[in-house]
Structure 1
Amino acid sequence: MNYKILFIGAGNIAKAIEVTLKNNKDVVIDFWDKEDGKVDNQKPLNDLVIWADVIILCINSWFMREAIGSILPKLKKDTILISVAKGIEDATGLWMDELLEEILSNDQPYGLLSGPMIAKELSEGRGGAAVYASKDGKSYETVKKLFINPIFKVEYSSDPSGVAMSGVLKNIYAMGLGIADGLDLGSNIKGWLTMQSIKEMMSIVQKLGERAETVLGPAGFGDFIATGFSPYSRNHILGQELAQTGKFTEKSEGYSSLPALVKKLNFKTNDFPILHKLRLIVLENAQVKETFESLLK
């Protein structure tokens, strides 16, 4: 059986995931992007949506509602939607799993794909890992038939809410490790910050009513290590730039999600020292070196 996969969004992560699928002879892939010229000989979106068995949404969280709205009229009821976005919708405060749940019909299969998937490394064939999170374990049976590449591990989670939260939190806390590198604090301090960040992430997920242990999986701990230590991560780069210059060149998912997370916590961040310092630096323009190094006192 051939599985017809449509990537919506033809950026780096979409092309990287394509690399992990290329050794599967049962997969046929196409792309669509709203940016003219990004996909050669691009077919009409409606035709591609009708054609696809699986649609992988490789777009930023702030475009997710618009993107799903554009495909709903032609979406087949058995097509599996997979989101790789990690964020919180600004207008509603919805996590990505909640957004998908709100927009899609009750029987539409969907899931989140999240984990250590640095696009540059996947594109080079260096492997990665992910968790597919869905309330519907049946759709995972199809997903695992797609990702058969031995150097790309995909496991299953029945906790899409915890995975969605973990993906947001690891992006935010990865900015902190970027700041540590920008301040040249060294590996020992980064090790301590990593430990403390994981503790805070677990406490936040628990405070928000979900399973803290999900943070220890690929979407949380795994992706946090990859993102927080990678020179290719936008979240890491943003933190590093803030520490070195006081400004940044490109916003990241972590930067965009931080205000919504603070709001979800009712602006009470003092119980989470690293998050609180990130709030002061990123949202309130506090002096980076003095503010961040106060964590060590």
Structure 2
Amino acid sequence: MDKRTVNKYMDKKITILGHGEIGSALGKILQNKGFEVYFWDKNPERATQNMALEQMIKASEFVFLCVPSWVLRNALEPVKSFLKPETILVSLAKGMENTGKTMDAVIKEIAPDNFVLMSGPMLAEEISQGMPGFAVLAAPDAVLANKVQDLFKETNIHTETSEGVGSVAFAGVLKNVYALIIGIVSGLGYGDNLKGYLVSKISEEWDYLAEVLSLDKPILRDQAGIGDFIATSFSKYSKNHELGEKLAKGNAGELQSEGLASLPGLISLVSQKTPALPRYLGLLKQVVLDGEPARKVFEF
């Protein structure tokens, strides 16, 4: 990379809200490319020192929201008054509020329409080691997605753009919720034959939900949907898989994940659209919300 290219990148400043695993991994990638990156976190020790949140946001052209869905609204509130009209928000959250609102709807309520959803198989532990990650950049305006795509050119993050914002948001919800199922059957001791069968049946169930919720089936079948679902369901790094295993054994405790947090809102939304829940979403409800034993519910 020549000096002129590095200087071009250094002109762009980026703030990352949430200095956890994914925020740290993306920040490192962007720093290595030459961007000036600031970090803010609820833990002051993980934030950029000697710089207030207001200074970070006002200086930045891009603000990455690397926080869980259940805190996104609260994380955005103190930020919105500092955003410049041209600042682009990039949300990594893949979840749903209990109201049934996906992250694009939450962002629209609080901040300007300059936002991009970044969704796909991007396990932080892998991309931080230089392994490839894959993302769909969904935005109401293709220009916004293209600007974010430019940030990751010549990095290990491979991106595609989409204007199907709502379907990409729902794909992230579905992959996290249904990954709990694969975790549950793993916790119950079932093998890969059943898991392969379940992936195929869950894919069919998503086709049904696409019709019920007016979603784009090709988006659900692509990397932001089934691709991310498989990565999340089978990875040793997946919190949804880990929590599913603990649910199977009845010792989930106070653990939280995007799938668990999104389940009540998804069930409520689907229940408004159809008289009966589809099979596997219904089985998950029996275990997580109704408290029925996983071994009894997931008996094959």
Q: TM-score range by the shorter chain?
A: over 0.9
**Is residue 32–residue 42 contact of structure 1 (8 Å, CA) maintained in 2?**
no
Q: Displacement, 1:88? A: 1.4
Query: 2:206 and 2:286 mapped to 1: Cα distance?
Result: 18
Q: Counterpart of 2:80?
A: 72
Query: 2:108 and 2:21 mapped to 1: Cα distance?
Result: 26
Name the aligned partner's letter for residue 111 of structure 2. L
- The answer to whether structure 1 residue 200 and structure 2 residue 205 are counterparts is yes
Change (3 A) 1:248 1:116: farther
Query: 1:111 and 1:42 mapped to 2: Cα distance?
Result: 29
Query: 1:95 and 1:249 mapped to 2: Cα distance?
Result: 23
Q: Counterpart of 1:97?
A: 104
Query: 2:275 and 2:242 mapped to 1: Cα distance?
Result: 24
Deviations 1:225-270 (A, max 9, x none): 1000011111000011111344345111100110111110127584
Q: Counterpart of 1:292?
A: 298
Change (3 A) 1:28 1:258: same
Q: Counterpart of 2:286?
A: 280
Q: 2:172 aligns with which of 167, 170, 185?
A: 167
Query: 1:50 and 1:40 mapped to 2: Cα distance?
Result: 15
Q: Counterpart of 2:183?
A: 178
- The answer to whether structure 1 residue 9 and structure 2 residue 15 are counterparts is no
Change (3 A) 1:132 1:68: same
Root-mean-square deviation (CA), in Å? Answer: 1.7
Q: Displacement, 1:200? A: 1.3
Q: Displacement, 1:136? A: 0.5
Q: Counterpart of 2:117?
A: 112
**Matched residue SS, 2:214:** coil
**Matched residue SS, 1:76:** coil
Query: 1:8 and 1:247 mapped to 2: Cα distance?
Result: 28
TM (normalized to structure 1)? 0.92
Q: Counterpart of 1:39?
A: 47
**Is residue 137–residue 162 contact of structure 2 (8 Å, CA) maintained in 1?**
yes
Unaligned runs of 5+ in 2: 1-7
Q: Displacement, 1:150? A: 4.4
Q: Displacement, 1:205? A: 2.8
**Matched residue SS, 2:121:** coil
Query: 1:219 and 1:231 mapped to 2: Cα distance?
Result: 19
Q: Counterpart of 1:217?
A: 222
Q: Displacement, 1:41? A: 1.2
Change (3 A) 1:270 1:30: same
**Percent identity of equivalent pairs:** 36
Q: Counterpart of 2:3?
A: none
TM (normalized to structure 2)? 0.91
Bigger shift: residues 58-67 or 79-88 = 58-67
**Is residue 19–residue 125 contact of structure 1 (8 Å, CA) maintained in 2?**
no
- The answer to whether structure 1 residue 187 and structure 2 residue 192 are counterparts is yes
